[in-house]
A and B are shown apart, each in its own frame.
Chain A
Amino acid sequence: MTETNKAEATSQALTISGLDCFYGEVQVLYGLDLVLNKGEVLCLFGRNGAGKTTTLKAIMGLVPSSAGSIKLAGQELTGLPAHEVPKAGVAYVPQGRRLFAEMTVAENIEIGLMARGKGKAARENVLDLFPLLRQRLRQRSGTLSGGEQQMLAMARALCLEPQVLLLDEPTEGLMPSMIAKIRETVSKLRDMGVSTILVEQRVDAVLSVADHVAFIENGRNRETVDVEELRADPSAVRRYVGVG
C-alpha cells in the first residue's frame, strides 16, 4: 500500500466498491462505489427506486450482496451476519422509523444499548441530546408524535455510539420545526465525529447538512460531488432528479 493509499484508508470511515445486490431475481445495485470520509455527512440523492435504501440495507447486511466489498475502517462487513454489523459500529435509522411501537420509549432505548453492551453513560448522553424523550420514558413509543418518534429512532441508533450512522429519510412527513431540529442534530453529530450517510429527497436539506452528495441512479453511483460545488452549480440535481 502506497503512502497516499494509506492516508486515504485512514481518512475513510466506510468504503463500498463494486457492490451488486439482488431482491430475489431482480438486480437492484450494479457495481456501486461509495466513499464516506470520517466525520462527514454523505448524502445519497436520487429518484425513488434508484437504490438508496437498498444501499443502506446492504451495509447493514439486511439485503445480501452477491459481489463487491463494504469496509468499515478497513474491516470487511460483507459476509457478516446482519446482527453482527451493528456490533462493528454501524447504526441504522430506517425509513418510517420502524420503532417497536408496543414498547415504551425506555425499552426502545434499552434495545439500542444492548447491541454493543453500552451502559448508563451512553443512555444519558443520548437523552441529553434529545431531552424531550426523558419526559416520555414510560410512554408507549407508538403514541409519540411523528417528530418525537424520529427523535427516538435516532436516539435508539445513537445508543450504539456508532462510528457510522445511516439515516434513511429522517425528515419524511415531519413539520418544518421538527425538520430543522433533525438537521441541527445531524450537524451536531458531525461535530462529535460521527460519520453519516443520509438518504434525503429534499434539496434544501441536502445543501444545508451534507459535505458530499452522491447521485444514485439505477443502482449506480453516477457522480459524487462536493456540496460547495453543488451550491455553485446545481445542474447535477436537475440532471439526475429533475428538480432544483
Chain B
Amino acid sequence: MSELLEVANLGKRFGGFVALDNIALSVRAGERLGLIGPNGSGKSTLVNCICGTLRNEQGSVRFDGRVIDSLPAHRRTRLGLARSFQLPRPFVSLSLMDNVRIPLLYTVAARGGRHAGAAIDDHCHRLLREVGLEAKAGALPRDLTQVEMRKLELARAMAAEPKLLIADEAMAGLTHSEIEDILALLVRLNEQGVTVILIEHIMRAVMSFSRRLVVLVSGRKIADGPPEEVMRDPEVERAYLGQ
C-alpha cells in the first residue's frame, strides 16, 4: 500500500498559542486510522489544516502524491479529501437532498463523473438512506435533531466520493445502535477502498474501528501505532487519566 496522506512537520499558531507543533503523520491508502486526544489538543485544527480550511504556517501536506499546501479547500475536496465538521454546518436553506447534491454537482462533476438529472436524485436518496435520513429527504436542516445533523454531515462528506474521509466526531450524542450503524457504514466505505480517519471521543467506537491509533496532546503527537499498544503507552495513560 502506498502513502495517501503525508503530513510533515506541520505547525500552526493562533497568536501566541501553539495549536500544532511539528506534527508528522502518514496514512496509507485503505487504512482505518483513529485520531484521539483531549479537548483542545489540536485534532480539529489538524483536520482544518489538512483540508485547507486553515492554512498551516509550517510544514507541508502531501495528498495522493502531490503537495497541496497552496490549494484552496475546494480543490482539495476535488482531489479526494472529504471531511465532516465537528459542529454540523449544513446548508440551512437547502433541503437534505440538495445538501448532499452539492458535492455531486461540484466535486464529482469536476472530476468528470457526471451524473444525469434523474440519476443524481437516485444517488442523493441512496446516500441519505445509508445514514438513515431518507425519510427526511425533502426536509430542511432546521427540522433535524443534532444527531440527524451529524448524519447529514457524514452523508455530505460521502457524497464527494473521497479517497480519504475524515469523520470529525461524527458520533457524539448518538445511541449505542446508531453508533453501530455509523461504524458499519464507515467499515463498508473502507472496504470499498476509502481511507478513513476517525476522530472520536467514544473510545469503544475508536477501538473497534481503528487499525491504527494516533494520539495528540496539546498540539503534539505523542503516540502512533496499533491501538492496544498505544493504549498501554504510559504517556497516553497519563494524558488521558491526568486530565
A and B: bona fide binding partners:
no
- Chain B residues in contact with chain A, CB under 8 A? none
